[in-house]
Amino acid sequence: MRRGPLVLLRHGQSTANIEGRFTGWADVPLTAQGEEEAVEAARLLAADGLLPDVVHTSVMARSIRSADILLAELDRLWIPVQRTWRLNERQYGALTGRHKQEVRAEAGANLYQHWRRSLHGRPAPLAPHQLARLRADPRYAALRQDALPAVESLADMAARVVPYWADTLAPQLRTGMTVLVVAHGNSLRALAAVLDRLTEPDIERLNIPTGAPLRYDFGPDLRPVVRKGTYLDPHTALAKTALVAAEGHS
């Protein structure tokens, strides 16, 4: 039976991206460039014959808005959309909202990189009043209070992404559906780490650029045919990836 293709798309550029801030679970809008990135992503999907049958987003505005723009461009606003907190960006705890360059200057290059890109690095957690505000958010009303993270490592993120892959995404792909996931840099890193069985050094080197569709095709066992997938516009994706890797360093 044919396995459906999976497309991973990080939301378009946000105001926090352009300001060089850690965003985490804070809600921020797209920039004008971010909206255009979503339009361009739709054009790339259409050119590659990748019309999604179902879309998955986080419950964060920048993910939702990017998906809406893309679906409108493809004239597919009618397809099913599933939203889940499991695809939210990484909870950056006390780093949320802070400038990356400032954090790197304070913490030093090694600790900054450990917090930002390692599998197990965790900065300080959210303050109690910030966590209480998050618990009061109606998007998370159905979750147990102790399920809401005050801070996460990438390993913690993988623990919440893996069940969504196993219970929701993989079954849809097995039916032959074209599945689009519009999420965030770190939730997509966590998902890619699972799909590609990445080592810790691989994970540390993995950067996901905004607005760049990444295609995965699968064999019968749902193992990727091409490890690490294929960007629909590899030249642009490579240039954007270098910019993500350099965030906070200048």
| Catalytic, out of 37, 40, 56, 89 | 89
Q: Is 89 a catalytic residue?
A: yes
Residues 11, 56, 114, 184: which is the catalytic one? 11
How many CA atoms are closer than 13 Å to the CA of 115, on its beta-carbon side?
24
For residue 17, the Cα-to-chain-centroid distance in whole angstroms is 13
Q: Is 102 a catalytic residue?
A: no
Whole-number Cα distances in Å, 246 to 91, 109, 180, 203, 205: 21, 12, 27, 16, 11
d(CA 215, CA 229): 5
Whether the CB-CB separation of 210 and 36 falls below 8 Å is answered with no
CA–CA distances in Å: residue 50 to residues 79, 165, 187: 14, 20, 22
Among residues 195, 186, 140, 144, the alpha carbon closest in space to that of 165 is found at 195
Pairing of strands 6-10, 230-231: unpaired
Distances in whole angstroms, Cα of residue 171 to Cα of each of 13, 125, 188, 197, 236: 30, 35, 18, 19, 31
Gap between the Cα atoms of 47 and 250, Å rounded? 36
The amino acid at 165: W
Q: Which residues are known catalytic residues?
A: 11, 89
